[in-house]
């Protein structure tokens, strides 16, 4: 390739690069959704000081999604209530995110029945939380044609979900729990526990007399 062409290209890139980056930052700031924006009124509730970063992921069923105060939802986060946009929902509120939460980049919160994320919960990027699974009991019917199974999810106050953790339907996670990166969680997790693995298992819990102990 012509050396002169490469030199000119490099000079142009150096000049345009800062402009592109500044423009992207400006667009991200302008596109951020807060409770000061008219669109926030489409949600069941949208607390003071909360924001959804730009660009968002897929967001629908807003009327059944509640966001508390001072909560930050990262870019590319999918928030959904129901199976599809404009679906008539059977519950007034399906997804509830509490106060002072941080939902990491690229995470998915997919609610059909009931998902509650209590106050002060933080997640790493690309966490997946859902309250619905495919049905598979009829072995003669394709799985996608079978009725789904809905079971509510609760994530307790002060909990941390590591990068790419998966929270399955019917999961109850207690207070101040650590979920390790990549863990696949179902069932009940007691307060003050650390869980890891697929399927997730308790690797340590806090005892008021003994401190942190392994099971």
Which residues are tagged catalytic? 114
Rounded to a whole number of angstroms, the distance between the first and last alpha carbons of the chain is 64
By the 10 Å C-beta count (0-12 exposed, 13-18 middle, 19+ buried), 134 is classed as exposed
Q: What is the dihedral of CA 131, 134, 138, 140, to 10 degrees?
A: 170
DSSP 90: S
**3-state secondary structure (DSSP) of residue 79:** strand
**3-state secondary structure (DSSP) of residue 49:** coil
What residue has token string 């929902």?
A: 89
By the 10 Å C-beta count (0-12 exposed, 13-18 middle, 19+ buried), 3 is classed as exposed
């Amino acid at each position: 390739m012509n050396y002169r062409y490469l030199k000119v290209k490099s000079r142009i890139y150096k000049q345009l690069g800062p402009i592109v980056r500044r423009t992207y930052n400006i667009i991200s700031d302008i596109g951020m959704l807060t409770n000061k924006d008219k669109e926030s009124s489409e949600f069941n509730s949208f607390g003071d000081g909360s924001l959804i970063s730009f660009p968002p992921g897929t967001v629908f069923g807003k009327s059944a999604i509640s966001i508390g105060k001072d909560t930050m939802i990262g870019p590319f986060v999918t928030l959904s209530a129901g199976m599809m946009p404009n679906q008539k929902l059977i519950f007034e509120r399906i997804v509830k995110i509490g106060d002072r939460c941080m939902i990491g980049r690229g995470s998915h919160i997919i609610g059909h029945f009931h998902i509650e994320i209590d106050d002060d919960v933080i997640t790493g990027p690309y966490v997946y939380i859902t309250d619905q699974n495919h049905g598979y009991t009829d072995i003669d019917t394709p799985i996608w044609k079978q009725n789904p199974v809905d079971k509510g999810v609760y994530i307790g106050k002060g909990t941390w979900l590591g990068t790419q953790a998966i929270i399955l339907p019917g999961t109850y996670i207690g207070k101040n729990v650590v979920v390790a990166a990549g863990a696949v969680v179902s069932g009940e997790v007691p307060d003050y526990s650390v869980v890891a693995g697929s399927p997730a298992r308790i690797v340590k819990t806090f005892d008021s007399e003994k401190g942190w102990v392994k099971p």
